[in-house]
Structure 1
Amino acid sequence: MVSPTARHREVIISQTKTRQRVRDLAEVYTHEREVTAMLDLVSDMFPSLDRPRDIGRTFLEPACGAGNFLVGILDRKLAYVKFGGLYRSVATFETAVLRALSSIYGIDIDPENVEQSRQFLKADIAHHMNLQLNTVPVSDGFWLAVEAILGTNVIRADTLKDGQRIRLVEYHWQRKTGYVIRDWSPLEEPNAQFDLFGEVPDECQRDEVAIHYSLLADSPEAVRVERHGGRTK
């Protein structure tokens, strides 16, 4: 069993895929050098010295396996999220880390791969936080927010068959530090016309108000505003 605190690159290199998994899941291991070479082809999608705050570009890995590409993408984003530089407070730093994580999506048909991907991403963030914050503690709710985002962004499904049933959450980070509005929508829009008297599909959902990231775990569904007597509360 891989420790959740172990860094991805220190573990994944020693892993081998069995012939049965290759046969049953068409699972093929991608070495770190191939991941690096492929991500180099889209280097403009990552932050740079000229665009250090450009950490929110969206990536989707439709067959993420153990998370090789997901961790590679996160590493390139976090390389520009440094405490004390652009992000001088713990709040702005944590928000930037969560913003980078929330822009990365992975889908896999195997639940073991999904769990492993989540653990590797979490371990990568833990490593980064330890390096950057050193003895400065993270705020209450940060790790709960990490878990909540991983739960919405790295999921078990068959991308080829379940496109219209897969619901992904898009995170819109607000100017107010730490606050976000979430949008729920299907990976693939339905292409058939709906019967007037047939079953109405679930509407896309969206938070009506921004919420702090510390509340993400306690608010798995869209946050609604209570209205009384025509007034918004």
Structure 2
Amino acid sequence: MNYVKSKQRVAEHGEVFTPPWLVEAMLDLVKDETERIDSRFLEPACGSGNFLVRILQRKLSTVEAKYGKYEFERRHFALLALMCLYGIELLADNIAECRANLLEIFADHLKLAESDDLYRAAHYVLTQNLVHGDALSMRTHDGQPIVF
């Protein structure tokens, strides 16, 4: 896996992606929280979602273990897990990729079609919770304050 998209992006934005083994090791330090459905996570430089994807996968495993037999609860708590993830990303292509990655994980896990109301709800949540902006200035790409 390549951890750099381009030397220019590294020079201009400091963009370097975290390898999966390091993501796992870091998340294991807060393992209980990553497996709690309602625990909230903010990734201030979320990139394409390396951390948020793994957190969502861990939360969805918990949902499956607790509510896998009950379709309504399974869908409800899966959406709650997704709603507890937040991210900020400076680069537009990365935030779009992060949203797409999380939506794909969520939809695949629940076997959702794009026409499903839950799919549309998840898409909306991701547009609100994953922000194109600067975590240092707490401003969106168009200068508005970042508010969740």
TM-score interval, normalised by the smaller of the two chains: 0.7 to 0.9
Do structure 1's residue 166 and structure 2's residue 146 form an aligned pair?
yes
Q: 1:101 to 1:61 in 2, by over 3 A?
A: same
The structure that is strand-richer by fraction is 1
**Aligned pairs (5 A) from 1:12-161:** 13=1, 16-47=4-35, 54-82=36-64, 86-130=67-111, 140-161=116-137
**Matched residue SS, 1:156:** strand
| Larger RCO (alpha carbons 8 Å, 6+ apart) | 2
State TM-score, norm by structure 1. 0.57
Q: How many angstroms does 1:87 deviate by?
A: 4.5
Which consecutive residues of structure 2, in runs of 5 or more, have no partner in the other structure?
Answer: none
Would the aligned equivalents of 2:52 and 2:102 in 1 still touch at CA under 8 Å? yes
- Whole-Å Cα distance in 2 between the matches of residues 140 and 119 of structure 1? 16
- Whole-Å Cα distance in 1 between the matches of residues 3 and 93 of structure 2? 14
Q: How many angstroms does 1:126 deviate by?
A: 2.2
**Matched residue SS, 1:28:** coil
Would the aligned equivalents of 2:27 and 2:34 in 1 still touch at CA under 8 Å? no
Identity of aligned residues (%): 38
Q: How many angstroms does 1:80 deviate by?
A: 1.4
Q: Deviations over 1:138-180 (max 9, x none)?
A: 9841111011100111110111112681110xxxxxxxxxxxx
| Root mean square deviation of aligned Cα | 2.3
The count of aligned residue pairs is: 144
- Whole-Å Cα distance in 2 between the matches of residues 46 and 30 of structure 1? 18
Would the aligned equivalents of 1:70 and 1:104 in 2 still touch at CA under 8 Å? yes
Would the aligned equivalents of 1:90 and 1:138 in 2 still touch at CA under 8 Å? no
